[in-house]
Structure 1
Amino acid sequence: MRKTETFGVPWESGYGYVQAVQHGDTIYLSGQLGHRGPDLHAPAPVDESGRITDFSAMGEQMRQAYANAAELLGRFGASLADVVEEVVYVLDIPAAFAVAGPVRKAAYGREDPQVASTILGTTGLAFPEQLVEIKFIARI
């Protein structure tokens, strides 16, 4: 069995991918970012050269990325409780560590999220104002 889901945002067709694929009992979510429809939620300010000048929106973007993942998983009859692995890509590790614990615990609804997690610092993400992207694998 194979099923896919999208959000219908422009970058899906522009880049050429789906947001989620279920293959058997496994659901693979493409990297989720903090967007609502085609708009980035809490975009980070950038200077004239396109560099981010303030990372304080990290938590807001992270919360929205988890909300988007939960929405996608729900379309498969799953939830964040079914996530077995996540990879968190961030532009600033200290800013991420300042908010990731409370945001993740709230998203998973427990003090000890039962998920394998990796956090990686990267030099760039898809959009100039984007601070975080989270990839998920869930088993149902």
Structure 2
Amino acid sequence: MTTAQVESFGVPWEEGYGYVQAVRRGDTIYVSGQLANEGPDLVAPAPTDENRRITDSSAMGEQIRQTYVNIERLLARFGASLADIVEEVIYVLDMDAAFAVVGDVRKAAYGVPVPPVASTIVECTRLAFPEQLVEIKVIARV
């Protein structure tokens, strides 16, 4: 049986949901869907109406940037970096808002004009937190 290394941030929803942020098995690191948080607080939370529906997606770029920062922090715990990512899936609530910023933010995060990463972007109807605009999961090989 392969021994797994696991990492978490210690945020309340890890225990509540029952998961780890990342797990390494062999030469592969699986990173759970990341969001734009600093500790238990969401970075650049989107405003919502009385029904908890997002009213403005202009924080999309800032949330994507912070999400890549969190991914980078997790990968560093395994001695890896964004350069080791082979696949990503980006979940967004607003595809138009995402397309307006995601290309530039991804290129800046990876530090190259064409990141060598298989990437999928999917629009969904809801994410874990009402003010959350994006979630990104990745797989890295080291």
TM-score between both structures, scaled by the size of structure 2:
0.98
Unaligned runs of 5+ in 2: none
Residue identity in the other structure for 1:20 = A
For residues 99-136 of structure 1, what are the alpha-carbon distances to aligned partners after superposition, in whole Å with 9 as ceiling and x for unaligned? 00000000001001000000000000000000000000
Taking the aligned partners of 2:53 and 2:47, their CA distance within structure 1 comes to 8
Measured on the aligned residues, the alpha-carbon RMSD in Å equals 0.4
Residue identity in the other structure for 2:89 = V
Q: Is 1:59 aligned with 2:56?
A: no
Partner of 1:78: 80
Partner of 1:110: 112
Q: Which runs of 4+ in 1 moved over 4 A?
A: none
SS at match of 1:134: strand
Taking the aligned partners of 1:30 and 1:109, their CA distance within structure 2 comes to 22
Taking the aligned partners of 2:100 and 2:61, their CA distance within structure 1 comes to 9
Partner of 2:131: 129
Taking the aligned partners of 1:130 and 1:112, their CA distance within structure 2 comes to 26
Q: What is the number of residues matched between the two proteins?
A: 140
Taking the aligned partners of 1:10 and 1:77, their CA distance within structure 2 comes to 25
Residue identity in the other structure for 1:17 = Y
Taking the aligned partners of 1:2 and 1:99, their CA distance within structure 2 comes to 35
Deviation at 1:72, TM superposition (A): 0.2
Deviation at 1:2, TM superposition (A): 1.2
Taking the aligned partners of 2:24 and 2:10, their CA distance within structure 1 comes to 18
Residue identity in the other structure for 1:86 = E
Q: Is 1:17 aligned with 2:25?
A: no
Partner of 2:31: 29
SS at match of 2:98: helix
Unaligned runs of 5+ in 1: none
Taking the aligned partners of 1:106 and 1:37, their CA distance within structure 2 comes to 23
TM-score between both structures, scaled by the size of structure 1:
0.99
